Amino acid sequence: MDGVLKALNGNHFIDFTESDTKINSEGALNDILSLCYYHNSNIILLDQNNLSSDFFNLRTGLAGAAMQKFANYQAKVAILLPPKAEKSERFKELMFEMSGSNHFRFYDHREAAETWLTT
């Protein structure tokens, strides 16, 4: 795990967008949460490169497990996905459902994600 601790608006968050961290199993989720505990921050920024193809395939259950685990541990997670990123219709529905969540949101602009995470 090689996220970078950053600060914005007086809040610290862990930025994984420039790391090779990949959510490809529930073990990877545990590693991310362990790093949060180490840095005393439950705020996480991820991007498309941090997500395995299994994450986007809802049949694997990985995205649901991630959302449940992050909610259970009170983590606040923003994921940067470009508008043209390949997403199934079911995944788009999931993104829409999560758009009002207090724990998990998708953004296509870094500034918007960072603002939500740190306010």
CATH of residue 58 = 3.30.750
Q: Is pLDDT above 70 for 83?
A: yes
Structural domain boundaries enclosing 79:
4-117
Give yes or no for a contact between 94 and 58, defined as CB atoms under 8 angstroms apart. yes
The per-residue pLDDT for 100 is: 83
Structure tokens at 81: 């996905």
pLDDT in tens, 24-82: 999 999 999 999 999 999 999 999 999 999 999 999 999 999 999 999 999 999 999 98
Q: What does the block give as tokens for 82? A: 């470009």
What is the rounded CA–CA span in Å between residue 108 and residue 119? 18
Indicate the number of domains in the chain: 1
pLDDT tier at 98 (50, 70, 90 boundaries)?
Answer: confident
**So what's the pLDDT on residue 1?**
57
- What pLDDT is recorded for position 76? 97
14, 37 contact by CB (below 8 A): no
What percent of the chain lies above the pLDDT cut of 70? 99
Q: CB of 67 within 8 A of CB of 38?
A: no
